[in-house]
Amino acid sequence: MTQPVTIIMIEDDEGHARLIERNIRRSGVNNEIIAFGNGTDAMKHLFGTDGTGLVQKGKALLILLDLNLPDMTGIDILKQIKENKYLKASPVVVLTTTDDSQEIKRCYELGCNVYITKPVNYENFANAIRQLGLFFSVIQVPSAAT
Amino acid sequence: MTAEAQRRRAFWQILLFAAGVLVLTVISAGSVYLVNKARSDNKWVLHTIEVENQVNALLLEVRRAESGARGYLLTQGTDFKADHEKAVAAIIPALDRLTRLSTDNPAQRDNVEKLSAAIETRLDQFAREMDFVRQGQPEKATALLSEAAAGDTTTKISSVASAMIREEERLFRLRSVNADQSQTLAASMTGIGSGLVVVLTLISIWLVRRSARIRDEAEARLREANVNLETVVDERTSDLREANNEIQRFAYIVSHDLRSPLVNIMGFTSELEELGSDIFRRIGSLTHVPAEGPPVAPGTNGEIALEGPDKQLSEDFSEALGFIKSSIAKMDRLISAILNLTREGRREFQPVRIDTRELIEAIVSTLAHQAAEAQAEIHVEPLPDIISDRLALEQIFSNLIDNAIKYLKKGVPGEIRIRGRTKLGYAIFEISDNGRGIDPKDHQRIFDLFRRAGTQDKPGQGIGLAHVRALVRRLGGTMSVSSELNAGSTFTITLPMTWNASNRKADQ
């Protein structure tokens, strides 16, 4: 990896964010994790103040996205990421409580790379996140388009 | 329109008809009467003329007799004599006739009597004159003639006759007027009667038209009411659908959003458990310092046994966490169940032709293991094929058969029977068993979500029957149970032979 990958976590539930972060760390992933509790802040970070996404140019990102956000739906964020020329190459992992087949289909159609339903059973949850962490440690993430 | 008004209208129509008949009868009777009267009036007019004629004829004969007698007296010609005799001979019958004719009128009768007395006198004079002439005494006859002429016999005859004629002329005028009156009366009666009939006819036509109009209006109102009714029903139906959809959305959102905090509770409970075991391990390692040597490194061979109150604490801690975790697990199952139910409620049905027996035999074969364990035998009888949603039917029957196997009586070999028949476009399926049965007071309750009945010795959430009933209803059918405690149960499902997508599509 020419550049360390930054993990952007967009998750409104602080508890979930904490559990996810903890389990990713447990799987040995030490990359920087930037957490956002709402869509607006995350969008500002991703697309910059000018909304073009130029700020992320040349950076390697991995985005963890929850669909149920207080101010906007994760689907909207996913759509805008996949339509932005600097961000569309970044892998997006949708991690949410919804297991509706329509929703899952729609996310993949919009270009989501992985869709994971949060299991209520904590053991399964922790396992899923740890496996995700293992996955993070091996995948190659491209730098945002230059 | 009220019944009162209808009755009044019928009454008026009958009254009109009766009036018409009455008027016609009166006109007919009146006409017959008046025509007869006119005829008799005319007869009397004719009679007057006849009497007058007869008087004139009598006078003529008397004059002829007189002139004949005179001629004979002057010339002694036999011609005159014959003429005179012929006239005299005619006088008596003419007089008789006049007498007969005038019997109706007392005044004329008197006149006739006077006249006949005068004529008799005159005839007597004639006879004597003729006798004198025959005996060759013409001078005597002439004297008699002049005497007669000088006397009032002839004058009397003519005066009486003219009196009679005058009387008759008076009567003629009177009777003519009478006859005219009768005829005018008859004519006007007919005219008025016809007018009345025309008026009654017009009133009848008006009444008939009015009732026709009222009927048309009533029909129009009825049509309008029908259309309104349909609109109202449609409105209510769409309101209900709206409400139902609202509830579904609500259930979905609530159950979905409940999951999120549950993940945290579960997650941090597990974290707490981790922490707890770490803490107790540490306590163990601190309290278990062997007299010689360093403290036992934790984790080398698993747990370090705690003692006394520490052990008690550790057990209490684990027990509390255990309760929390099992409660969370239960809550998760309930939420999942609600989510599945609402998801089922949103699923679009695909009606296909289903070989019901094949479908049920497939279900039975998947449940064969449970059936064998419960020593149950499942008999599938011939079943009617229907057009419906395959998945829904599978869920309905597998839930019911599964329940039948699950709630058999202990120690009694189970016998489960699936029967079917058709009735009026509906297929009726019966799933009966010889199991433990359901108390009648619980028959309603078992269909409620999360409610169960009887001994709670089997795992379950109380969802199956609620789900089955919701599916049956969505398929346009009904479901019922008949059962006694310890006497088996029979679940009856009535489904339309052909599920019509259009009648339920608006649900989606």
Q: Do A125 and B266 touch (CB under 8 A)?
A: yes
CA distance B477 to chain A (A): 28
B314 is a domain residue:
yes
Q: Do B267 and A19 touch (CB under 8 A)?
A: yes
CA distance B181 to B174: 11
Q: Do B267 and A100 touch (CB under 8 A)?
A: no
Q: Which amino acid is at B111?
A: N
CA distance B101 to B171: 14
Residue A40 forms contact with B (CB below 8 Å): no
Find all residues with CB under 8 Å of B356, minimum gap 6, and list them: B383, B384, B385, B386, B393, B420, B427, B429
CA distance B29 to B40: 17
Residue B269 forms contact with A (CB below 8 Å): yes
Percent of chain B with pLDDT over 90: 12
Contact of B55 with B164, CB cutoff 8 Å: yes
Residue A146 forms contact with B (CB below 8 Å): no
Show residues of chain B in contact with A97, CB under 8 Å. Answer: 256, 259-260, 263
Q: Do A15 and B269 touch (CB under 8 A)?
A: no
ipTM attached to this prediction: 0.71
B12 is a domain residue:
yes
CA distance B368 to chain A (A): 31
Residue B266 forms contact with A (CB below 8 Å): yes
Which of the 8 DSSP states describes residue A141? -
Q: Residue B460 pLDDT more than 90?
A: no
Report in angstroms the alpha-carbon separations of B310 from B280, B283, B292, B315, B338. 8, 8, 22, 9, 42
Task: Name the β-bridge partners of B418.
Answer: B380, B431
The CATH number assigned to the domain holding B95 equals 1.20.120.1730
Residues B317 and B365 in one domain: no
CATH code reported for the domain at A6-138: 3.40.50.2300
Residues B324 and B359 in one domain: no
Residues B325 and B468 in one domain: no
CA distance A21 to chain B (A): 12
CA distance B432 to chain A (A): 36
B382 is a domain residue:
yes
**What is the b/e burial string over B420-457, where b = at least 16 CB atoms within 10 angstroms of the residue's CB?**
beeeeebbbbebbbbbbbbeeebeeebbebeebbeeee
Q: How many CB atoms lie within 10 A of CB B181?
A: 14
B189 is a domain residue:
yes
Residue B260 forms contact with A (CB below 8 Å): yes
Instruction: Categorize the per-residue pLDDT at A1 as very low, low, confident or very high, splitting at 50, 70 and 90.
Output: very low
Indicate the residue among B341, B368, B401 that finishes a domain.
Answer: B341
The CATH number assigned to the domain holding B412 equals 3.30.565.10
Q: Do B263 and A120 touch (CB under 8 A)?
A: yes
The token pair that represents B339 in the structure block? 């989510």
Instruction: Categorize the per-residue pLDDT at A144 as very low, low, confident or very high, splitting at 50, 70 and 90.
Output: low
Contact of B495 with B384, CB cutoff 8 Å: no
Indicate the residue among B188, B212, B236 that finishes a domain.
Answer: B212
Residue A1 forms contact with B (CB below 8 Å): no
Residues B327 and B272 in one domain: yes
Which residue range forms the structural domain that includes residue B448?
350-507
Residues B312 and B366 in one domain: no
This prediction has a pTM of: 0.50
Q: State pLDDT tens for residues B161-202.
A: 888 888 888 888 888 888 888 888 888 888 888 888 888 889
Indicate the residue among B164, B189, B212 that finishes a domain.
Answer: B212
Residues B294 and B175 in one domain: no
Dihedral class, residue B494 (left if φ above 0, else alpha if ψ from -120 to 50, else beta): beta
Contact of A42 with A16, CB cutoff 8 Å: no
Domain locations in chain A as residue ranges = 6-138
Q: State pLDDT tens for residues B227-283.
A: 999 999 999 989 988 888 888 788 878 777 888 888 888 888 888 988 998 998 888
